[in-house]
Copies of this chain bind each other. A is one copy, B any other.
Amino acid sequence: MRITISQLNLHIGNFEGNLAKMLAAVETAKSQHSDLICFPELAVCGYPARDFFEFDDFIRRCQHSVEELRKVSQDIGIIVGSPTRNPVLAGKDLYNSAYFLYNGEILGIQHKALLPTYDIFDEYRYFEPAKEFKTIEFKGKRIALVICEDIWNVGDINPLYTICPLDEMMPQKPDFIVNISASPFDYAHAEARIRTVRANVERYKIPMFYANQVGGQTDVIFDGGSLVVSPDGLVFDEMPYFEECLKTYELDAVVGGNQNHEQPKDKIKLIHDALVVGIHDYFQKLGFKKAILGLSGGIDSAITAVLATKALGAENVRVLLMPSQFSSGHSVDDAKLLAETLGIQYDIVAIKPMYDAFETALKAQFAGQAFNVTEENIQARIRGTLLMAMSNKFGNILLNTTNKSEMSVGYGTLYGDMCGGIAVLGDVYKTEIYELVKYLNKDGEVVPQNTITKPPSAELRPGQKDTDSLPPYEVLDPLLFQYIECRKGPDELIAMGFEEALVKRVLRMVNINEFKREQAAPVIRVSTKAFGMGRRMPIVGKYLS
């Protein structure tokens, strides 16, 4: 038996586009004499479709795509993910299902049992969990068909669910497992995924074909890396990351095993690739081509410009240099040098005339008040307004350049430097930014050395440095990581050796700035806990604030 995995970059709600990709893949699989092609979870509509699932019309369109695939299933089995309606009145109205189509018939439908409802996931919002588990007989083999999370309860010391769907199927003696997934990227996830697939294969002693989605869906990035794991626990094949792929495997060879094609993983390379695909797909799926951003001469905007140029091409990236009266001469020079190296269009627009106009306009109201963060914010908002004007006039989407450290502690101006369609670096801590820039410069200097070595500064008042109001990033970032990614409370943090006053100060900064993050641009998710849908915090909460 020959089995094809089709790792596809799907687009939420783009039924025609997704169907066209799947029909082409079926043709290719047929030409490779495949018996069975496997598409990702909820492939007909893309993942995560969120509240589109509440529209009957949306479900009808999903069903229509399944119908079209059924028509082309002559001589080839097709496994495809789609929502299906729950025929029973009691319970949620939908299931998250895998269809098995063959010769124009529906050979079986298996619903998902384990519905992730944590971090970015909301599946219990829409779906009823499966209660029945039936293997599917196909050409003399029995297939255990499961969906994404269904295999993730195996090997967990504190399992989230009370059952393992494959345990329920094993009495039916399946020959192999097919898992269709929409398993999102974070820099630790590929290794966790291989560990989990292997734990299942070792538990059940049959091979697994694991088909994942790939590509960016705004904040959530799918990395692909679909897997074939043999009963000996070795990775028979691991598909590429961040790109589409179709491959056909001979079942007997997979059963035979004795091949290890596991790829090495590098955290910073994974983050880099995820950010590039995240930018690219955000633009492509919205139907835009061109980006704009503010280039300050600092490291965050420099990296964002490099990534945007890789994702969209130099001809599609435009930058504004917007020096203030407090900007160093170096800043403009560094930014110009980078723009010239990248070959992207740049304009210099000094913000002082607008700043002066605001100062004059508010003279009466601000009489007797000292210069403070208000005036810093006015400058940042003038920049935001200039960038958005360019965006509106020329149809360029503004890229936000805020990093995760700043976003955590609220070191940024809402409606100023927090503007943008998507926050490219919002899930990358400042200390990781420095690793990322080394990676970008590994084959020759792209980001100027001066941009990397100078002390970080917003340059919004004379001689300002980030460390005037923040702890050094080498101290701040590990604390933020323990609080945000690991959800450690103050007692645990102090027990870990963080200084008590610092813990209180930083946790308070994080918590009182929830109102800013609520209005932030969507953040491309690369860690296990990004700001956005995966982290839902009350604004009026008084906890640790």
Contacts and interface: CB of A to CB of B under 8 A. Distances in A.
Interface of A: 11-14, 17, 46, 48-52, 54-58, 60, 89-93, 117-118, 122, 124-125, 157-162, 216-218, 281-282, 285-286, 347, 349-351, 353-354, 356-358, 360-362, 364-366, 369, 372-374, 377-378, 381-382, 384-386, 388-390, 392-393, 414-415, 419, 421, 487-492, 515, 518-522, 533, 535-545
Nearest to A52: B543
A462 to B, nearest CB: 19
Contacts of A118: 125
Contacts of A544: 13
B377 A358 contact: no
Given A57-B491, A89-B158, A537-B51, A381 B385 contact: yes
B162 A91 contact: yes
Nearest to A421: B515
Contact of A492 (B11, B52, B57, B347): B57
Contact of A540 (B54, B157, B282): B282
Q: How many copies does the complex hold?
A: 2
A55 B57 CA distance: 39
A389 B385 contact: no
Nearest to A356: B357
Contacts of A125: 117-118, 122, 124, 536
Contacts of A17: 542
B538 A13 contact: yes
B362 A349 contact: yes
B415 A487 contact: no
Nearest to A16: B542
A57 B490 contact: yes
Given A57-B490, A90-B162, A378 B389 contact: yes
A506 to B, nearest CB: 15
B91 A161 contact: yes
Contacts of A92: 160
Interface of A is mostly: loop
Nearest to A153: B90
A170 to B, nearest CB: 18
A6 B347 CA distance: 63
Contacts of A52: 537-538, 541, 543
B366 A12 contact: no
A125 B393 CA distance: 42
Contact of A362 (B46, B216, B389): B389
A477 to B, nearest CB: 20
Nearest to A354: B357
Nearest to A11: B542
A236 to B, nearest CB: 31
Nearest to A363: B349
Contact of A489 (B49, B58, B522): B58
Given A12-B542, A218-B540, A157 B89 contact: yes
A166 to B, nearest CB: 15
A66 to B, nearest CB: 17
Contacts of A117: 117, 122, 124-125
A381 B384 contact: yes
Given A354-B354, A386-B361, A14 B162 contact: no
A361 to B, nearest CB: 5
Given A91-B162, A354-B357, A489-B56, A538 B419 contact: no
Given A51-B537, A52-B538, A12 B357 contact: no
A91 B218 CA distance: 31
B161 A540 contact: no
Given A52-B537, A281-B540, A358 B385 contact: yes
26 contacts: A11-B542, A13-B538, A13-B541, A46-B541, A48-B538, A51-B535, A52-B543, A54-B487, A56-B487, A57-B488, A57-B489, A57-B490, A91-B159, A117-B122, A117-B124, A122-B536, A218-B539, A285-B540, A347-B365, A353-B361, A358-B385, A362-B390, A378-B389, A415-B419, A519-B519, A519-B520
Contacts of A364: 347
Nearest to A115: B124
Contacts of A89: 157-159
Given A377-B388, A415-B385, A536-B51, A369 B393 contact: yes
Contact of A349 (B350, B361, B393): B361
Contacts of A124: 117, 124-125
Nearest to A59: B489
Given A117-B122, A125-B536, A354-B358, 7 more contacts: A12-B540, A12-B543, A282-B540, A353-B357, A353-B361, A356-B357, A518-B521
A389 B415 contact: no
Contacts of A360: 353
A34 to B, nearest CB: 29
A349 B390 CA distance: 25
A465 B421 CA distance: 28
Contacts of A369: 393
Contacts of A366: 393
A39 B344 CA distance: 62
